[in-house]
C-alpha cells in the first residue's frame, strides 16, 4: 500500500470533494465529507484591520478542511487518516 503525504492529501482535497475516514483525538472514528476546492469554500471574513491580522503557523501534522455537512472548518491529524476517497 502506498503511503500518501500531506501534499498528496492537499492536492486531492483542492481538486475534489473527498470522504475522509480518520480517528479523532478521543479515539472515535469519524467520516467527513470535506474539500479545499476554492469554489466551495466560504468567502474570507476580515474581522480586524489587515495590519492586525495574525498569520497562523502551518502545522505539518494536521490538515484544515471545509466540512461540507457542517459548513465549518475542521481539522485532523494526517497520521490518523484511515482512508480518503474522492466522492463520486
Q: How many residues does the structure list for the chain? A: 88
- Model confidence over 46-76: pLDDT tens digits? 666 666 666 778 888 999 999 999 999 999 9
CA distance 26 to 42: 28
The whole-chain average pLDDT of the chain stands at: 90
The CA angle 7-1-35, to the nearest 5 degrees, is 35
Mean pLDDT of 26-30: 97
Q: Which CATH architecture has domain 6-41+60-86?
A: Roll (2.30)
Mean pLDDT of 16-38: 97
Give the pLDDT of residue 88.
76
Amino acid at each position: 500500500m502506498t503511503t500518501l503525504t500531506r501534499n498528496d492529501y492537499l492536492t486531492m482535497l483542492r481538486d475534489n470533494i473527498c470522504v475522509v475516514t480518520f480517528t479523532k483525538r478521543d479515539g472515535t472514528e469519524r467520516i467527513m465529507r470535506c474539500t479545499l476546492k476554492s469554489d466551495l469554500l466560504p468567502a474570507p471574513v476580515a474581522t480586524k484591520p489587515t495590519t492586525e491580522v495574525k498569520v497562523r503557523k502551518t502545522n505539518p501534522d494536521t490538515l484544515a478542511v471545509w466540512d461540507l455537512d457542517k459548513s465549518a472548518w475542521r481539522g485532523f491529524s494526517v497520521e490518523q487518516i484511515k482512508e480518503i476517497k474522492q466522492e463520486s
